[in-house]
């Protein structure tokens, strides 16, 4: 996202993510006319993150 004014972000401004990405599975179906990419991420809450029910995001199109 661009803005008209510059804004410097310093390393000290970052915080660790409350989640860990445990695994990433990528699948590419490449043909002459189209490439279909599928990605599955296994994400777990960090030690200090409250547990919630499982969820899944799916997008096709």
Residue 8 lies in a domain: no
Residue 41 lies in a domain: yes
Residue 55 lies in a domain: no
pTM of the prediction?
0.52
Beta bridge partners of 38: 27
Please tell me the total number of residues recorded for the chain in this structure: 61
Percent of the chain with pLDDT over 70: 79
Residue 1 lies in a domain: no
Residue 5 lies in a domain: no
Residue 26 lies in a domain: yes
Residues 18-33 have pLDDT tens digits of 889 999 999 999 999 9
**Cβ partners under 8 Å of residue 52, min gap 6:** 45
DSSP 46: -
Domain boundaries, position 37? 13-45
């Amino acid at each position: 996202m661009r803005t008209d004014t510059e804004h410097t972000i310093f390393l000290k401004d970052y915080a660790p993510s409350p989640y860990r990405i445990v695994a990433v599975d990528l699948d590419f179906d490449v043909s002459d006319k189209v490439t279909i990419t599928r990605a599955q991420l296994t994400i777990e809450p960090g030690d200090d993150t409250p547990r919630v029910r499982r969820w899944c995001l799916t997008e096709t199109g």
